[in-house]
Structure 1
Amino acid sequence: MSRLRGRFTGPVFTRRSEATTTDQRLLDSHQPSDWVHTDPWRVMRIQSEFVEGFGALAELGPAIGVFGSARTAADHPTYAQAERAGRLLAEAGYAVITGGGPGAMEAANKGACDAGGTSVGLGIELPFEAGLNEWVDVGINFRYFFVRKTMFVKYSRGFVVLPGGVGTLDELFEAITLVQTQKVTRFPIALIGVDYWSGLLSWLRETVLADGKISQTDLDLLFLTDDVEEAVRHVLAVQEEDPRP
């Protein structure tokens, strides 16, 4: 009989725990009415996650977020690209922030770690993942997605985005929205993988832009390349103009 896999509930690791997550229980409207009485206590837990995140990352220094699929196999070319991106960013003096999981995230953390840089993982409580990858130097496991997203955007000065699925797309479009609405400024976004991303960009240009739902300046926020070095140069070039320490 195989050993049961465990998972994290926030920062706590458990086995044989319930299948739901904290986020799921918070957002589920089909639950007993006693949630009215427990939600104020949830606010305290949410506050504590913000405090933990701010405390852990306040002295991090300049950092770049690297996103990509947790399903990227170690022998896939994208894994090598993510590892290379993490290494180049670390060699340039930047911390690397990922979601802390396997696949492309693990690769970027590994590249940063091998280069002697700071490798950060911001994990999330999920029913099918057991925690942070082994290459994370500074790791925080969150219960709530919205707290985790705040940490990504607050402490990253740009994103390098590799091929990924729903989670990667979520982070990508969140970043675009924040730049578009001027909630964040000087925030470069580099996409690695011309074949992978071209279909999406064509749809945005030929359908969404053509119908007047976005402007050309929104599309100009995205820099597309197959060259890892070029992607890293793009996100770092903006930092040279940034007056922040």
Structure 2
Amino acid sequence: MVNADIEIETLDEFDRVAARGSLSGYRVQSVNLLERTFALLAADTSAAVFLGCAMEPDASAKVRADGALVFPPVPDLPFNPYRGLLYTPGELFAGLPDGYESTPDALVYAWFQETKSDGDVYSSMLRSLHDDAVSDALDEHLGGAPVVGVMGGHALSRGGAAYGGAAALGRTLARSGLTVATGGGPGAMEAANLGAYLAAAPDGALAEALEMLAKAPSFTPSVSEWAGAAFAVRERWPDGGDSVGIPTWFYGHEPPNAFAGHVAKYFANATREDGLLARCTAGVVFLPGAAGTVQEVFDNTTANYYASRGEPTPMVLVDRAHWTEHLPVWPLLRALAGGRAMESRIALVDSVDEVPAALASMN
């Protein structure tokens, strides 16, 4: 069995495997087994691993006697370090009507703020377990799909032309069959996820959604109002398309956006940045941004610089003036690319309208 075949992440999967009489060698990840005592007592659980699975004492004693490893649920945590699936916006923003401060996303950030510098190896271990579980869930979710990343500044306000352009780009990329992945935050990232969310809706839906969102242009001063406007759009078009957001609690003062269908949220920003770019197999689009976006440009450039066998990821930088005058990274990129495989895999365009053609020419 390959790794994905031995992981059990839902109760339905557990029931199907347990019905065969053996759970030997399986990894059961964050499944509530309190009502599956008989199945656990009846099945062979030798060499199985149970990660954060609630079970009755009799069942726990039996599987341990079989030789299974049991990692019990961790009490009093605002997150599940063994989670088997990606987050959803509804999960992260649960309880939003009572104020953002009461949501799971905000509570996890508060826990992180309290523990990130306390030197407690237990806290850091829990964060590492969580992030590894999220990476595993992300790979399973993507499943080899062609992924295009859209990077850009978090400060881009709803209601502006640049925000609308980023949303239109996300819609176009999703309609072409690509999975859109962003940093999962506000601004340009939210816009791209919004476009992907509305990819299957009539063309006029995007303009209407942009008008609704413009009433809460930024997550400051109120994350609750900002997120509430997004959920109003989701309620207006409840069957939105999927995309991925990959944010981090390291920058937890920036909330995740509500338009990514699945959210891989991390504690470690370095793990998040590297993982986001590494999974963008169909290319990365860089919209205008500041320090964070520039970091992503050069993180991706470093991987491309050392890429072997002609496999650099296509890179498209949008807004010629921004990347040649305001933040003139383009000349350095060209100098690094000179004579290397990545030279034909970078492009500078004037507007988002040119992005699809630029990506197509490099794929």
TM-score (norm 1): 0.75
Shift of residue 20 of structure 1? 3.4
Could you tell me how far apart the structure 2 residues matched to 1:179 and 1:21 are?
37
Is the alpha carbon distance of 1:193 and 1:98 closer, same or farther for their aligned partners in structure 2, counting shifts above 3 Å?
A: same
Task: Say whether the 8 Å CA contact 1:87–1:115 is kept in structure 2.
Answer: yes
Higher strand share: 1
Q: Give 1:28's aligned residue.
A: none
For residues 89 and 75 of structure 1, what CA distance do their matches in structure 2 show? 21
Gaps of 5+ in 2: 1-97, 201-240
Post-superposition Cα deviations, 1:49-82, rounded to whole Å, max 9, x if no partner, equal 1232222342421110101111011233221221
Give yes or no for contact 1:50–1:147 (8 Å, CA) kept in 2. no
Q: Which amino acid aligns with 2:140?
A: A
Deviation string 1:178-203 (CA, Å, 9 cap, x unpaired) is 00011792400001111111121465
| Segment drifting more, 151-160 vs 86-95 | 151-160
* Corresponding position: 1:13 with 2:106: yes
Q: 2:313 aligns with which of 187, 194, 215?
A: 187
Q: Does 1:81 align with 2:206?
A: no
Is residue 311 of structure 2 the alignment partner of residue 216 of structure 1?
no
Give the conservation status (yes or no) of the 8 Å contact 2:305–2:337. Answer: no
Q: Which residue of 1 aligns with 2:138?
A: 56
Q: Which ranges of structure 1 fall in alignment gaps of 5 or more residues?
A: 26-30, 240-245
Distance 2:127 2:112 in 1: 20
User: Greater relative contact order: 1 or 2 (C-alpha under 8 angstroms, separation 6 or more)?
Assistant: 1
Number of the residue aligned with 1:137: 261
Structure 1, residues 13-59: CA drift from partner, whole Å, max 9, x if none? 3189378376x63xxxxx7xxx3xx4476246324312322223424
Shift of 1:108: 0.3
- Asked if 1 retains the 8 angstrom alpha-carbon contact of 2:134 and 2:266, the reply is no
CA contact (8 A) 1:121 1:138 kept: yes
Alignment of 1:38-117 (within 5 A): 38-39=120-121, 42-43=124-125, 45-60=127-142, 61-116=145-200, 117=241
Is 2:100–2:106's contact at 8 Å kept on the other side of the alignment? no
CA distance in 2, matches of 1:4, 1:113: 25
2:274 touches 2:299 (CA, 8 Å); kept in 1? no
Name the count of aligned residue pairs.
217
Matched residues in 1 for 2:130 and 2:252: separation?
A: 22
Alignment CA distance shift 1:59-1:5 (3 Å):
closer
Q: Distance in 2 between matches of 1:39 and 1:124?
A: 20
TM-score (structure 2 length as normaliser): 0.53
2:176 maps to amino acid:
A
| 1: CA distance, partners of 2:114 / 2:355 | 35
User: Against the structure 1 CA distance between its residues 71 and 228, is the aligned structure 2 distance closer, same or farther, given a 3 Å change threshold?
Assistant: same
Q: Secondary structure, in 3 states, of the residue corresponding to 1:159?
A: strand
Q: 1:136 to 1:100 in 2, by over 3 A?
A: same
Q: Distance in 2 between matches of 1:105 and 1:169?
A: 15
Given that residues 99 and 105 in structure 1 are in contact (C-alpha distance below 8 angstroms), is that contact kept between their aligned partners in structure 2?
Answer: yes
1:80–1:181 distance in 2 versus 1, CA, 3 Å? same
Rounded to whole Å, the distance in 2 between the matches of 1:21 and 1:216 is 47
Deviation string for 1:127-156 (max 9, x for gaps)? Answer: 422x32121111121100122123212321
What is the identity percentage for the equivalent residue pairs of Structure 1 and Structure 2? 26
Q: RMSD over aligned Cα, in angstroms? A: 3.1
> Counterparts of 1:49 and 1:102 in 2: how far apart (Å)?
21
Q: Select the residue among 198, 204, 207 that pairs with 2:324.
A: 198
Alpha-carbon offset, residue 84 of structure 1: 1.6
What is the alpha-carbon distance in structure 2 between the residues aligned to residue 152 and residue 193 of structure 1?
Answer: 22
